[in-house]
Amino acid sequence: MSGTHAVASPFRQPKAVFAVAFACVVSFMGIGLVDPILPAISHELHASPSEVTLLFTSYLMVTAVAMLITNWVSSRLGTKKTLIAGLILIVVFSAAAGASPTINGIIGFRAGWGVGNALFIATSLAVIVASASGGFAGAIVLYETALGVGIAVGPLLGGPLGEISWRGPFFGVACLMAIALIATVVLVEPTPKPAHKTGLSAPLRALRHRGLLIMSLTALCYNWGFFTVLGYAPFPMQLSPIKLGLVFTGWGILVAIFAVFGAPWLQARLGIAKTMYANLAAFAAVVLIIAIWTTDRAVLIPAVIISGIFIGVNNTITTQAVMTVSPVEKPVASAAYSFVRFIGGGLAPYAAGRMVLAFNIHFPFYIAAGAIAGGIVILSTARQRLAAAERVQAEQVGGTAPVTTGPETTGPVGALIPVDGSAEPAAPGTPVILAAVDSSPMAALVTEAAAVLAAGHDGVVHVVNPDAPGALSDRSADAELLRS
The pLDDT tens digits of the residues spanning 65-100 come to 888 888 888 888 888 888 889 999 999 998 998 898
DSSP for 273-286, written as a single string:
HHHHHHHHHHHHHH
The pLDDT score that the predictor gives to residue 452 is: 47
Residue 305 has pLDDT above 90, yes or no: yes
pLDDT at 223: 92
Alpha carbon 280 to its chain's center: 16
pTM value? 0.69
Of 301 and 324, the one with more pLDDT? 301
Given this model, what pLDDT does residue 316 score?
82
More confident residue, 126 or 404: 126
Kindly report the length of the chain: 484
Average pLDDT over residues 2-24: 63
- Are 9 and 221 within 8 A, CB to CB? no
Looking at per-residue pLDDT, the higher value among 374 and 9 belongs to 374
H or E segment and range at residue 193: none
Q: Is residue 404 scored above 50 in pLDDT? A: no
CA distance 289 to 420: 41
Whole-number pLDDT of residue 282: 96
Torsion sign, CA atoms 158, 118, 54, 218: negative
- Convert the pLDDT of each residue in 25-65 to its tens digit: 877 776 667 777 777 888 888 888 778 878 778 888 888 88
Distance CA 108, CA 155 (A): 22
264 or 480, which is more confident? 264
Residue 201 DSSP one-character state: T
Q: What is the DSSP string of 56-74?
A: HHHHHHHHHHHHHHHHHHH
Domain at 15-387: CATH architecture: Up-down Bundle (1.20)
- The residue with greater pLDDT, 463 or 402, is 463
What is the per-residue pLDDT for 484? 41
Residue 267: pLDDT above 80? yes
Q: Higher pLDDT residue, 80 or 287?
A: 287
| Each residue's pLDDT tens digit, 224-248 | 999 899 888 888 998 887 888 888 8
What pLDDT is stored for residue 389 in this prediction? 66
Cα 428 to Cα 186: distance, rounded to the nearest angstrom: 54
Q: Is 469 exposed, middle or buried (0-12, 13-18, 19+ CB in 10 A)?
A: exposed
The string of DSSP letters for 97-121 reads: HHH-SSHHHHHHHHHHHHHHHHHHH
> Above 70 in pLDDT, residue 420?
no
pLDDT at 149 over 50: yes
Q: Kindly tell me the sign of the dihedral angle through the C-alpha atoms of 329, 334, 335, 337.
A: positive
Query: Chain-wide mean pLDDT for the chain?
Result: 76
User: How crowded is residue 29: how many other Cβ atoms within 10 Å of its Cβ?
Assistant: 25
Does 477 score more than 50 pLDDT? no
> Which residues, in sequence order, are bridge partners of residue 417?
401
Least confident window among 124-133, 330-339, 456-465: 456-465
Position 193 pLDDT exceeds 50: yes
Choice among 13-17, 247-251, 288-292 with the minimum mean pLDDT: 13-17
Domain boundaries, the chain: 15-387, 423-484
In whole angstroms, give the CA distance from residue 316 to residue 23. 19
Query: Which pLDDT does position 220 carry in this prediction?
Result: 93
Q: Over 60: is that where the pLDDT of 349 sits?
A: yes
Among 7, 118, 108, 106, residue whose Cα is nearest residue 60: 118
Whole-number Å distance between alpha carbons of 462 and 125: 27
